[in-house]
Structure 1
Amino acid sequence: MNTILITGAASGIGAATARLFHARGWQVGLLDINHRALAELAAELGGVWHAELDVGDASAVREALQDFCSLHGGRLRLLFNCAGILRFGHFEDIALEEHARILQINVLGLLQVTHAAFPYLKGTPGAQVINMGSASGLYGTPHMVSYSASKFAVRGLTEALELEWRRHGIHVGDLMPPFVRTPMVAQQSFEPPALRRMGVKLAAEDIAAAAWLQARHAKVHRPIQWLFTLMYWAGQVSPPAVSRMLMGWLSRD
C-alpha cells in the first residue's frame, strides 16, 4: 500500500498534490495549521486522515506521525515536506520576528517532521522524502532574503541526507520551481522585480505533477519549468559570477 503524508496540505501545492495522489489510489494523510481548510479538503477526498499541526511544535509532530503511520502498519512510503511561509519585501522593512518565523517553519519545521518520520520510512521499501525547494535556493534572491536562505538550507539538507540515508534505502530529493500561482504568493503586498520580469507561469497542479514524477523517478534536485531548468544546469557549469549577474539583472528596481 502506497502512503503519502503531506505537510502544508490545506491549500496550494499541498492540496493539489493530495488530490492527485488520492486520485491515483494512494492513502493520503493531510497536515496543516489551517484546520478549517484542512477539514474541507479531507471531506472532499472522502474523509481521508488529517490533523491540525504547526510543524514548529516538535511534540505535536511526533504524535501526528505516529497517529498516521500506525494506521498503515508503521510504514510511510512518501513524506512530502510542503509546509512553508513566504514574505516579499525589502529586508529591513520586514520585522525580525517574521524573518525568524520563516526560518522556523521552512527549516526547523522540515527538520522536525523528517526526523520524526525516519523510523516509519526506514521500515518501508522504496521510501522517499520530497522536500519543497525553490529556484531561490540556487542563488540568493533579493526581496525574499529569508525565504531564499531557508531554501538554501533545504537544498543542503536534501543533498546531505540523500547521501546519508542511502544505507537505509530512503531516497531524499527536492522540487525546485520558480514562482508558482498559489494563495501564498497571491496575498503578498510587495511584488519583487524578479517576479514582475519572470512572471508566474506555474500552477500548483504543475508542482503536484512534478511530485508524482519524483515519486516514480527520484532525483536529488528536480528543477521545474523550462527556463529555470536551463538556468539550473547553466549554473552547474558556469562561474558563480554569471548567476550573480543574472540575478542582479532580474532583480533590478
Structure 2
Amino acid sequence: MMNRLNGKTAIVTGGARGMGESHVRRFIEEGAQVVLIDRLAEAGDALVKQLGSASRFVQADVTDPSEWARAVEFTESEFGAVDVLVNNAGILVNHHLADASLEDYERTVRVNQVGTFLGMQAVIPSMRRAGRGSIVNIGSTAGLVGFPSCFAYVATKWAVRGMTKAAALELAAHNIRVNAVHPGDVETEMTAKQRSNGEITTEGIALGRFGDAAEITNTVLFLASDESSYITGADLAVDGGFTVS
C-alpha cells in the first residue's frame, strides 16, 4: 500500500462504478478514507463491502443541496474534515442543437454543472476549518474543443472549466486548490454504446487508442495529493493527445 493520501478524507461523486469507482479504489490504496456518493444504491453498497472500513457509501442526488449537506455532515462524523472532493458524477445525452429537448438540456445541466457547483459549495466550510483542501472537477475534452451531437454535455463541460478557475481564485486564500481533469474517450459504461456503434472512434487520438479509467485516476490522484501543492486553476487533459492539434 502506498501513502500519497495517507490520513486524508475524500468525497467522490459518481463513485459506484466507472471512473468514479477507479478513483475510490486507488484513493483507498493510497491511504485515504473515502465517502462515495451515488444514486446507485446496490452498486454503492456492494463496493464499500469490498473495500472495507476505509469507505462509506451515501446514496444521494448531487443536484440537491440538502443531500449534499447531509453527505458532508456524514463524512465529518465518520472520518473528520473533508480534505479532497472529486466532482466526478456526470451524464451524457446525445443530441444536436436543432433537436435537443429542453428537458434533456436542463437535466444535463443539473447533474454536470449544478452538481459540481453544489459539491464545491458544500465542502468549503469543512475545508476552511481544516485550513486546506483539494477539489478536482472532472471535465472532458468536450470542454476544451467543440463536439457535435452532444450539445448540452459540451455546454456543461465548458462551464466546469470556468467554475474551476473562478473557485481557484476565490478559495486560494483558504489554502483550497481547485483543478480540472479533462478525460478523452475512456472505456467506461457511459460511453460503451457510442463506442460499439461507431459514434466514438480512435480517429484523431495521437496514441491511437481509448483511455483506461486507471489512467485518468493517476492524474486525479496527483491533484488530490500534496504533490500538486503549487497547482490550482489548471486544466489537465488526459486524452491521448486528442486536443494537441
Structure 1 length-normalised TM: 0.84
Paired position in structure 1 for 2:168: 162
**1:200-215 alignment runs, 5 A limit:** 201-215=210-224
Work out whether residues 89 and 190 of structure 1, in 8 Å CA contact, stay in contact via their aligned partners in 2.
no
Work out whether residues 6 and 81 of structure 1, in 8 Å CA contact, stay in contact via their aligned partners in 2.
yes
Residue 51 (str. 1) matches residue 65 (str. 2):
no
Residue 78 (str. 1) matches residue 87 (str. 2):
no
Alignment partners' CA distance in 2, 1:194 and 1:21: 29
Partner SS state of residue 150, structure 1 = helix
Work out whether residues 11 and 86 of structure 2, in 8 Å CA contact, stay in contact via their aligned partners in 1.
yes
Gaps of 5+ in 1: 232-253
Partner SS state of residue 130, structure 2 = coil
Once the two structures are aligned, what percentage of the paired residues are identical?
A: 31
Alignment partners' CA distance in 2, 1:187 and 1:30: 25
Work out whether residues 6 and 14 of structure 1, in 8 Å CA contact, stay in contact via their aligned partners in 2.
yes
Residue 97 (str. 1) matches residue 106 (str. 2):
no
Alignment partners' CA distance in 2, 1:192 and 1:162: 38
**1:104-253 alignment runs, 5 A limit:** 104-188=110-194, 195=201, 197-198=203-204, 201-215=210-224, 216-217=227-228, 218-219=231-232, 220-228=234-242, 230-231=244-245
Structure 2 length-normalised TM: 0.87
Structure richer in helix, relative to its length? 1
Alignment partners' CA distance in 2, 1:18 and 1:115: 21
Partner SS state of residue 86, structure 1 = coil
Alignment partners' CA distance in 2, 1:4 and 1:175: 17
Gaps of 5+ in 2: 1-6
Amino acid in the other structure paired with 1:110: T
Alignment partners' CA distance in 2, 1:151 and 1:225: 15
Paired position in structure 2 for 1:32: 38
> How many aligned positions are there?
230
Alignment partners' CA distance in 2, 1:172 and 1:112: 14
